[in-house]
Amino acid sequence: MTDTKATLEIRGLRAAVEGKEILKGIDLTVRQGETHAIMGPNGSGKSTLASVIMGRPGYTVTAGTVVFKGEDVTGLTADERARRGLFLAMQYPVEVPGVSVVNFLRTAYQSVKGEQTSALAFRKHMKEKMEMLGVEDAMVNRYLNQGFSGGEKKRNEVLQLAVLEPEIAILDETDSGLDIDSLRQVATGVARLVGPDLGVLLITHYQRILNYITPDFVHVMIAGRIVKEGGKELAQELEAKGYEGIRAELGLEDAVGAATE
């Protein structure tokens, strides 16, 4: 029986920013329905990996491939990858004055789906997702991220994820800068979306978000490489040992301060 689940396959991926190599040979497979967590200290290349997977400008792939659903997408633009079913929730969402959240979402939805959607049909679709996530009407009528708190920006990213319905989502430090209550709201929203139709690659520094989102696989990234892999218990080991403990265990003491993300 043929597996119809969408699969993201990263093989031997090396990438540079402004001539400096950041990723130094990444191998990773994420399937629709799986939740993966990539954990690592500052400067390990986690955010670079997210950007390269999504095809953000400014990153040069020097070796390896990004294959999605059997297609090599390494040379495709970010919008082309989005139309194929990939999604990136950014660490620092940008403000777009003059464009309401609802108008942005409808435009993005039509672009990704490749079809025109009536305002009424889209509003019904969006409203279903808002109710699922507990998002208020007031938020979607505001200009995109303008004047939003950190928590509101991240909740808006989760709403985008829900509305666009990708097959694989990369969440780049969704917990960054959030207080305890905001973290709970955002993480609970993501947890509601996790299921057989969504594969998640969650990038984080800390174990705390994994109290709400249980990963199937955990990957430890240091100095541009994945150095250790395991199940959810690996996140707890990291919490106990710290990254310095993992470095010492693996003999990676010289890998400190490798590359900025």
The CATH number that applies at residue 170 is 3.40.50.300
| Closest listed residue to residue 239, CA positions, set 220, 261, 224, 212 | 220
The confidence score (pLDDT) of residue 25 equals: 97
* Confidence check: pLDDT of 255 > 50: no
Output the six-digit token pair for 191: 């947890």
Most confident of 31-40, 141-150, 231-240: 31-40
- Kindly state the average pLDDT of the residues 176-205: 92
- Kindly state the average pLDDT of the residues 231-245: 90
Structural domain for 244, as ranges: 7-255
Contacts of 71 (CB under 8 A, 6+ apart): 84
- Side chain identity, residue 103: N
| Closest listed residue to residue 24, CA positions, set 261, 225, 247 | 225
Model confidence pLDDT, tens digit, residues 212-226 = 999 999 999 999 999
Summary mean pLDDT of the chain: 91
Domain assignment of residue 249, yes or no? yes
The confidence score (pLDDT) of residue 162 equals: 97
Model confidence pLDDT, tens digit, residues 126-152 = 999 999 999 999 999 999 999 999 889
The confidence score (pLDDT) of residue 92 equals: 83
The confidence score (pLDDT) of residue 1 equals: 44
* Confidence check: pLDDT of 174 > 80: yes
* Confidence check: pLDDT of 21 > 90: yes
**Domains in the chain, number:** 1
Domain assignment of residue 261, yes or no? no
* pLDDT band at residue 107 using 50, 70 and 90 as cut-offs: very high
Tell me what percent of the residues of the chain surpass a pLDDT of 90: 74
